[in-house]
Amino acid sequence: MNWDDTAPSTDDAVPAGPDRLVGADADGEDTAVEAALRPKDLQEFVGQERVREQLDLVLRAARARGATADHVLLSGAPGLGKTTLSMIIAAEMGAPIRITSGPAIQHAGDLAAILSSLQEGEVLFLDEIHRMSRPAEEMLYMAMEDFRVDVIVGKGPGATAIPLELPPFTLVGATTRAGLLPPPLRDRFGFTAHMEFYAPEELQRVIHRSAGLLDVEIEPDGAAEIAGRSRGTPRIANRLLRRVRDYAQVKADGVITREIASQALGVYEVDARGLDRLDRAVLTALLKLFGGGPVGLSTLAVAVGEERETVEEVAEPFLVREGLLARTPRGRIATPAAWAHLDMVPPQHQAGGIGQQGLFGA
């Protein structure tokens, strides 16, 4: 039987996968250079047209009223520009910004300390807002709605709640998992935006802009080559650009052409579609060892010598998004696109791919 552990785990912690050039989370080097590459206003912010247009209206209206902007919730995968957008909101409102994250606020007191020191109109950026503790979350409800918190002084039966007025502020919450937010919290945001992965043309614009800031010469075809391997994510596009720049400097005259980009990313094992070594190992095992599946997650993980969490949370989301792998109740199945991508021919019974066999093995 192929029945297996196909349901994604609900554990919040993302396993530490191997260090990846195509990982969407920020690494140390990213953190250092990202500040220089961040767009400073909505005009410079590439793509996400609908979000930009709506946000522009929200901010203009608030400015015209001389009021603090509504609370904003940004959801979307890592590296799509949530932090950047929160800084733009502050800049557009001419307000200072305070940056913190859900895991850093474990006690309601931590949040009270931050809230009570905010200036009028300040933007509070709360990253990973879904990972805040419950008591802090409840304090936030009141702070968002009434600009007030109750500070508890003392313990046990003698404890008293001292109400504390807060200046109006704008909370910008960011989450990779909007579905995990309790509805009372979600409802308190005046504006909610979901950030989508970027189209290749948009990533090309991000790459050209970053190349200009980094003083790197790049041809349009070179930018297109990098964009195609960036998994729809500006952070990855900027990271690949830096690696290709190194290669162009050392192996060529510094100019990034399509050929140079392709050679460089070949050296770093990022293929034409943005798959890296781990992604390809998973697909190769699925095709070569298991004839395209269905195969259980644990079996597949053993075959590639990785933890099942690594396969499930690090490799699979992108493979599923790319339509190369399907998670079914009977196990993992390779799609016809996977066979084509690895230049392999499916065995006869797989020739019709998922379409013939039925996603749920019917």
Ligand X SMILES: Nc1ncnc2c1ncn2[C@@H]1O[C@H](COP(=O)(O)OP(=O)(O)OP(=O)(O)O)[C@@H](O)[C@H]1O
- Nearest approach in angstroms of CB 264 to ligand X is 20
Contact between 173 and ligand X (CB under 6 A)? Answer: no
Contact between 234 and ligand X (CB under 6 A)? Answer: yes
Question: Which one of the listed residues 20, 82, 245, 330 is annotated catalytic?
Answer: 82
Question: Which one of the listed residues 131, 229, 231, 235 is annotated catalytic?
Answer: 235
Place of tokens 């909610």: 192
- Nearest approach in angstroms of CB 44 to ligand X is 7
Q: Pick between residue 48 and residue 335 the one whose CB is nearest to ligand X.
A: 48
What contacts 104, CB < 8 A, 6 or more positions away?
A: 110
Contact between 235 and ligand X (CB under 6 A)? Answer: yes
Cis before 18 (ω within 30)? no
Per CB under 6 A, the list member of 78, 190, 200, 254 interacting with ligand X is 78
Draw the binding track, 120-149, toward ligand X (x: CB under 6 A; -: no contact).
-------x----------------------
Annotation marks residue 330 as catalytic: no
Classify residue 44 by burial, with Cβ atoms within 10 Å: 0-12, 13-18, 19+: exposed
Contact present, 96 and 119 (Cβ < 8 Å): yes
- Nearest approach in angstroms of CB 35 to ligand X is 8
Contact between 102 and ligand X (CB under 6 A)? Answer: no
- 327 a known binding residue? yes
- 118 a known binding residue? no
Nearest position to ligand X, beta carbon: 81
- Nearest approach in angstroms of CB 236 to ligand X is 9
Annotation marks residue 186 as catalytic: no
Annotation marks residue 276 as catalytic: no
Contact between 82 and ligand X (CB under 6 A)? Answer: yes
Place of tokens 């989370």: 25
3-state secondary structure of 177: coil
Cα(47)–Cα(52) distance, integer angstroms: 8
In the region spanning residues 187 to 206, those forming contacts with ligand X, defined by CB under 6 A, are 206
Question: Which one of the listed residues 68, 175, 176, 335 is annotated catalytic?
Answer: 176
- Nearest approach in angstroms of CB 23 to ligand X is 10
Cα(27)–Cα(30) distance, integer angstroms: 5
Instruction: Of 50, 152, 74, 47, give the one whose Cα is nearest residue 109.
Output: 152
Contact between 79 and ligand X (CB under 6 A)? Answer: yes
Question: Which one of the listed residues 68, 83, 170, 233 is annotated catalytic?
Answer: 83
- 146 a known binding residue? yes
- 148 a known binding residue? no
Which span sits near ligand X by CB under 6 A: 91-99, 163-171, 233-241, 297-305?
A: 233-241
Instruction: Of 145, 101, 106, give the one whose Cα is nearest residue 126.
Output: 101
Contact between 25 and ligand X (CB under 6 A)? Answer: yes
**Sign of the C-alpha dihedral computed for residues 198, 269, 244 and 88 taken in this order:** positive
Which span sits near ligand X by CB under 6 A: 154-162, 231-239, 281-289, 347-355?
A: 231-239
Buried b (16+ CB within 10 A) or exposed e, 296-324: bbebbbebbebebbbbbbbbbebbeebeb
Residue 22: how many CA atoms within 13 Å on its side-chain side? 27
Q: CA-CA distances (angstroms) from residue 340 to 12, 35, 76, 236, 349? A: 34, 39, 30, 25, 16
Active site residues: 82-83, 127, 176, 235
Known binding-site residues for Mg(2+) equal: 83
Contact residues for ligand X, defined by CB under 6 A: 25-26, 34, 37-39, 45-48, 78-84, 127, 206, 234-235, 238
